[in-house]
Amino acid sequence: MPDVMVSIAKPKVFGFLHGLAFITISLSVSWLALANSTSSAQSSPLPKLMLPVICEVGQSCLVQKLVDHDSGSERRDYRCGKLTTDGHDGVDIRLRTLDDMRAGYRVVAAASGTVLRTRDGEPDISTRVRDVIAGKEAGNGVVIDHGNGWQTQYSHMLQGSVTVQPGQKITAGTPLGLIGMSGNSEFPHLHFSIRHNGVTIDPFTGGHQGTACDPTAKGKGLWDPMASTALQYAPTAIISVGLSSSLPSRLAMTQSNESQPPNSTEPMFLWADVMGAKPGDIQTFTIRGPDGQVTHSQQLDVNDGGLSWFAFSGKRPPTSGWPKGKYSGLYVIRRDGVVIAKRGRIDTVN
């Protein structure tokens, strides 16, 4: 959804995406203006964008959602993949857990400009356990005006972390706040969006949201070389894995880097939270005991997959219970015989 909420034969309202508008201006709009958005963007180029977060993509943070390029009810990212939701208008760069959020990962301005609007004070509470306040879906955030009709927006920031004020002149890389989970958010992440003359632009293509996807697209778009390299298309990634005596809830998986260690007299599960798994992918679960020997191994097909996929495999304890010591779990996912992602975990049975 763009900053300009477009409705044919109705006024067009400028504001902060997801209701963060403090000042609104009514303006008429035509289909012609939307159709010409790409050429207009080309004639008023935005400076190359730096990565809007200070984190290592693929390690401390992950890209979980991209701009939706499907004009109907389906979903397609710029590479015609499924790393998006219907109508999604930005790029979600997430942290793995709330522990990571509390550690503090900086949000920075992707380009120079003037701060247009800010909001702070919204709590960092998952929508899995509370309702979102209408008009505050973006949570804490910042909108920056870059001139020539260009704006960037930084949403769901950490409560109390916003460090800039409306009217402030900033340069690329200026700290804006911290990644949070405020507003309409289930996990800690930054929702980064770009608009030109009120129309959503995909930073991976430089074109507007309605353009057709391309499975061969390189994804350089508006990014500077460093950001483009860091943000290479990764259709599948493992968010987290854990060893435990019971299966965690979706909410619990985002709570902490520390999972509940297995109990010596209860079953032992190896679980994985995965994004971008596809039907037909092969998962391998391996648990090794304190002596390094395999205590459990299982191979399972992915029968569904999607943007979010939860998988697990486990085993009951031996009659005498699990021997005390360190256990390691390894989750591997393969596609067409090739390993595309793997992640391990070590926990102790006391």
CATH number, domain of 154, equals 2.70.70.10
DSSP string, 227-268: HHHHT---S-EEEEEEEESSPPPHHHHTT-SS--PPPTTS-E
- Whether 1 is covered by a domain: the verdict is no
Lowest model confidence (mean pLDDT) among 18-22, 110-114, 122-126, 176-180: 18-22
Residue 315 has pLDDT above 80, yes or no: yes
Residue 15 vs residue 341, higher pLDDT: 341
pLDDT at 260: 67
Q: Say whether both 140 and 207 belong to one domain.
A: yes
**Residues 121-162 pLDDT 10s:** 999 998 888 887 888 999 999 999 999 999 999 999 999 999
Average pLDDT over residues 274-295: 96
Between the alpha carbon of residue 20 and those of residues 13, 145, 183, 328, 342, the distances in Å are 12, 15, 10, 46, 39
- Whether 5 is covered by a domain: the verdict is no
Q: Say whether both 103 and 218 belong to one domain.
A: yes
Q: Say whether both 204 and 245 belong to one domain.
A: no
Please give the mean pLDDT across all residues of the chain.
Answer: 85
Q: How many Cα atoms occupy the beta-carbon half-sphere of 10 within 13 Å? A: 7
Burial pattern 50-64, b for ≥16 Cβ within 10 A else e, equals: bbbbbbebeeebbbb
- Whether 331 is covered by a domain: the verdict is yes
**Residues 29-63 pLDDT 10s:** 222 233 334 444 555 677 799 999 999 999 999 99
**Last residue of one domain, picked from the residues 178, 210, 230:** 230
- Whether 7 is covered by a domain: the verdict is no
Residue 49, classified by CB atoms within 10 Å of its CB into exposed (0-12), middle (13-18) or buried (19+), is buried
Q: Say whether both 108 and 177 belong to one domain.
A: yes
Q: Say whether both 220 and 101 belong to one domain.
A: yes
Q: Say whether both 244 and 182 belong to one domain.
A: no
Tallying the residues shown for the chain, one arrives at 350
Q: Say whether both 199 and 95 belong to one domain.
A: yes
**Last residue of one domain, picked from the residues 171, 195, 230:** 230
**Last residue of one domain, picked from the residues 198, 230, 262:** 230
**Residues 57-94 pLDDT 10s:** 999 999 999 999 998 889 999 999 999 999 999 999 99
Alpha-helical (H) ranges within the chain are 31-35, 37-43, 98-103, 225-230, 250-253
In this structure, are residues 53 and 106 in contact, taking their beta carbons and an 8 Å threshold? yes
140-147/294-301 β-pairing? unpaired
The span from the CA of 327 to the CA of 322, in Å, is 10
Residue 211 vs residue 191, higher pLDDT: 191
Q: Say whether both 345 and 297 belong to one domain.
A: yes
Which domain, by its residues, includes 115?
Answer: 12-230
The total domain count for the chain is 2
**Residues 325-350 pLDDT 10s:** 999 999 999 999 999 999 999 999 98
Both tokens of residue 217?
Answer: 């697209």
Q: Say whether both 166 and 303 belong to one domain.
A: no
Residue 134, classified by CB atoms within 10 Å of its CB into exposed (0-12), middle (13-18) or buried (19+), is exposed
How many of the other CB atoms lie within 10 Å of CB of 34? 19
pLDDT at 19: 47
pLDDT at 130: 82
DSSP state of 19: G
